[in-house]
Structure formats: structure tokens, C-alpha cells
A and B are shown apart, each in its own frame.
Chain A
Amino acid sequence: MLVIALVAVALVSMVSDRRALMAGGRELPWGAGAILDLAVPVQKLIAMPAGIVRDAWRHYLDLVGVQEENERLRARLARLAEDNLQLQEALVASGRLQQIAEMRDDFEIPMLPSELVGGDVSPWFRSVSFDRGLGDGVRSGMPVISEDGLVGLVTAVSQRASRTMLLLDRQSAVDGTVQRSRARGIVRGRGSDELEFEFVVRGGDVRVGDIVITSGLGGVYPKGLRIGQVTAVSDPGARLLQTATVAPAVDFGRLEQVFVMLRRGPTMELLYEAGEPGVTADAASPKPAS
């Protein structure tokens, strides 16, 4: 009898959790949230010695190649400065520079820095927990990014902590676009360190080396966030859908600090759309913020 009751409770819990996830809100109940909150300081404490050793090793490795990297970065900086100048010239010529500057002032994106405190306890899922929660304004469904690109999506929140499903998780699906050809498709996690980009063969111009960004369609992630780079394209054969392998822009093995986007929706889309080259003036015209 007890076995049946416990199994029933677990199944009901799973069904209601799935419903909450699909509805976009998954704030953990008090007891469960308290466990997640408690896990943050405990996990920080446990990870501290290993973190110190790892940081020392990384700093050493960083120092080894610093001169070479410095030269490389200087060359890159010079190239970017030149590109920037050319883009500014083009924007001034099209009269859009002032418009974009005004928009950035109007729509400041609140970004909350957050620190990784732990990974997933199961090897079959790819999620991480961060030390920011409801008390800091984090809610389920908010995108999480790092300086390199898209990290994932907040899926559970307690008062002082949150869990984020990484792009790599097999339950993750993001509407993506190839930056060069604008070919659209779905980027899915494989549970490994690579992603899968599924797109329609007809008109889908995807090549190795292409950058894949979020399309903004699908309503979860804002447009223009970097997802990764195409490393291989499969042979479609007679199928309508073709897949490409994408290396994530973010190095998830070295993920330590991220930013939670505290707002999403049309306002964000507008800003990213306006920041992209080659977008018509209509797309950048102000829309009402939701």
C-alpha cells in the first residue's frame, strides 16, 4: 500500500512539475526551495578548495601564453577598431546611429551577475545552479547568458538560488538562425558537449564555420544571442530536414559567472534587431513594450 502511495505521489509530482514548466512558471514550494537555498552555501564550501587549486592552475596557464595572446589581441583590436569605424560611417550615412543611441538609453537591459555553485547531480541532464533567486528578481523562463553567448534558461527558482537548464540538455530547444544566410532551424541539446541544428533542406544554406544566433521567434530567448558555430553538416539524403553539428559559443566546462536577463520580450527583441547589420528601418521602429 505504501509503495503504491509513494509511487503515486512521485507520478503526480512529475505531472504537475511538467505542467508548471510548460506554463513557464516553476517557483519551488517552500520546503523544496529551502533545500535548494541550503545547498548554495554548502556547495560553495565543498567546492572552495578545488576552486582555489583550479584558479591557481588557470592563472598559471594564463600567464604562460600571455605575451603571445597580447600580440594576437592587439592585432584583433586594431582590426575591430577599423571595422567599428566603417560601421559607424555606414550608420551615420543611413541616419540610424542617433536612433540606436536613443533606443539604448530608453531600453536599458537589466542584467544580474550570478555565480555558478553546482552542476547537475545526474549525468543524464545538463543543468546548473546559481546563487541568485526570487529575492534578486530572478524568475522562471529568464534567459541566462555569459560574455560568450547563450547559456540556457532558468527553470526553477527558490528564494536565494535558481536552476538553469543548459543549452546542452536534451530537453533544450532554441529557435536559431544562421547569421550569414538567415537560414532558420531548431538548435537542440544532445546531452553531450555539442548541439544539433535541425533545418529544412530546401533553402537552408548552412556551411561549416557559420555562426548560429537566436532568432527571437519562439518567444523565450531574445533575438541575436550567439549560440555557436557550425562544425559539420550532415548529408540530408532524401530527407526534408538536415542536421548540422554546432559547437556552443560558451565553454560550459569553464562556466563560472553568468548574467541573468531580468527582462525579455519585444523590447529586447527590438534592441537586438536594431543592433544587427542589414536590418531594414521598419524592423527598428519602436514597438510598445509589454
Chain B
Amino acid sequence: MKPALALLLLGAVAIMFQGAASGLLATRFIPDLGFLIVVAVGARWRSLPGGLVLAALIGYAADLLSGSLLGQHALLRMLAFLAARVASRSLNLRGSLPQAVFVGLLTLLNALGVAVLTSFFAPPGAVFGLPPANALLTHAGINAAIAPLVALGTDRVLALVSDEDAGRRLLRFESRRAA
């Protein structure tokens, strides 16, 4: 429970940071931290239900700070989580290079998902295709470059929380033995 809460908090702060930064800089230059955390969690998290709920909540928070429909990012984050989970079974997503390549490709697929869902729910007359190639590739490149760092950060948070838990369990065990 504690790692899930810690990751949720990390995701929420990351999204707020993203929102604040995008008020100052063009969004395509800002890494999609929420997305990267979800992918990192997908490659590490053992619990499928916990990971899915976490991905949905991080996506929902992104929906609130975006012009998308409520539920759009939530759905795409769940898909990203599942993709990372499935890929991590047969690919080594712990190494920096494979991680970066995987995130870059997944960012492109995510953009396709955004375009499809938005067109599907778009008001009559509105045309919503894929974003310009240069913006798309820039964003994918930045996400790919930052992905190993975010994965490292996610690992650290998980280790920190798990260590605390393990320490507390050990303390309880010791006190029981002493009694």
C-alpha cells in the first residue's frame, strides 16, 4: 500500500511540475513525467491491479491539467502500463538504451492514441490528426532521453519506501522476540 501511495504522490507532483513548466516553455520540450513514471512502474511493479489503478489515477490527474477529455489520459496510461509490463517480460527494460528506445516508440504510439481518441470524440466539423512530425519526434526524443532518469528515481522511491517497510517489519519481529 505504501509504495503505491508514494508512487501516486510522485506522479501527482510530477504532473503538477509538468503543468507549471509548460506555462514557461513549449510543451513538446517538456518530458511527460507522468507517462514516464507509469512506464517505469509497468516494468517493475508486480501487482497488476495495483499498477493499473495507479496508472489510471496518474492519467486522471493529467486529464485535469490538460485540455483532454476526462478519462482520455487515464485510458492511455493504463495501456502504457500494460505495454511496459508485457514488454518487460521478454525485453530487458532495465538498461538505459533499451529503456530509451522503448519509451520513444511508446511516446509515438501514445500520440497516435491521443489523436484517435480525440477524433472519435471530437465535435462535428473538427479535424484532429496527428501532431506535426517535428513536434512529435522532439517530444519522443526528450521522453526517451529522460526515461532512464525517471526510472532511476522511481526505483529510488520504491527502495526507500520498501526499506522503511522492511525496517518496521524487522523492528516488530525483534520486539516480539524480545517479549
- Contact, CB under 8 Å: A163 / B71: no
Q: Which residues of B contact A124 (CB under 8 A)?
A: 68, 111, 114-115, 118, 131
- Contact, CB under 8 Å: A2 / B70: no
- Contact, CB under 8 Å: A117 / B69: no
Least CB distance, A217 to chain B, in whole angstroms: 15
Binary contact readout A30-58 vs B (1 if CB under 8 angstroms, 0 otherwise):
00100110010011101100110010000
Q: Which of A127-186 contact B (CB under 8 A)?
A: 127-129, 155-156, 163, 165-166, 169-171, 173, 186
Q: Which residues of B contact A171 (CB under 8 A)?
A: 67, 118, 122-123, 126, 128
Which of B20, B22, B67, B78 has the most chain A CB within a 10 Å cutoff?
A: B67
A238 an interface residue at 8 Å Cβ cutoff?
Answer: no
- Contact, CB under 8 Å: A17 / B69: yes
Q: Which residues of B contact A6 (CB under 8 A)?
A: 52-53, 56, 74, 78
Q: Which residues of B contact A50 (CB under 8 A)?
A: 21, 24
B95 an interface residue at 8 Å Cβ cutoff?
Answer: no
B28 an interface residue at 8 Å Cβ cutoff?
Answer: yes
| Chain A binder among B57-65, B97-105, B145-153 | B57-65
How far is B53's CA from A7's CA once the two chains are assembled, in angstroms?
Answer: 11
Q: Which residues of B contact A3 (CB under 8 A)?
A: 52, 78, 82
Binary contact readout A1-41 vs B (1 if CB under 8 angstroms, 0 otherwise):
01100110111111101100110000010001001100100
A121 touching B19 in the complex, CB below 8 Å, given contacts A7-B78, A13-B70, A14-B69: yes
Q: Which residues of B contact A51 (CB under 8 A)?
A: 24
- Contact, CB under 8 Å: A122 / B69: no
How far is B71's CA from A122's CA once the two chains are assembled, in angstroms?
Answer: 14
Least CB distance, A144 to chain B, in whole angstroms: 13
How far is B128's CA from A284's CA once the two chains are assembled, in angstroms?
Answer: 39
Across the interface, B24 reaches (CB within 8 A) one of A2, A47, A121, A163, namely: A47
Of all chain B residues, the one with the shortest Cβ separation from A29 is B70
| Chain A binder among B10-18, B37-45, B161-169, B171-179 | B10-18
Interface size on B, residues (CB 8 A): 57
Least CB distance, B134 to chain A, in whole angstroms: 10
Q: Which residues of B contact A170 (CB under 8 A)?
A: 118, 126-128
- Contact, CB under 8 Å: B19 / A43: yes
Across the interface, B75 reaches (CB within 8 A) one of A11, A121, A123, namely: A11
Chain B contact residues, CB within 8 Å of chain A: 12-13, 15-24, 26-28, 30, 32, 34, 48-49, 52-53, 56, 59-62, 64-75, 78, 82, 111, 114-115, 117-118, 121-123, 125-128, 131-132, 135, 139
A and B contact pairs by CB, cutoff 8 A, 23 listed: A2-B48, A7-B78, A10-B71, A10-B72, A10-B78, A12-B71, A14-B75, A42-B16, A43-B16, A44-B20, A46-B17, A50-B21, A118-B23, A119-B24, A120-B19, A120-B22, A123-B26, A123-B131, A155-B67, A166-B67, A171-B126, A173-B125, A186-B125
Taking A118-B20, A124-B114 as known contacts, 16 extra A-B pairs with beta carbons closer than 8 A to each other, sorted by chain A number, are A2-B52, A3-B82, A17-B69, A36-B65, A118-B16, A118-B22, A119-B21, A120-B27, A121-B27, A122-B32, A126-B67, A129-B65, A165-B67, A166-B67, A173-B123, A173-B126
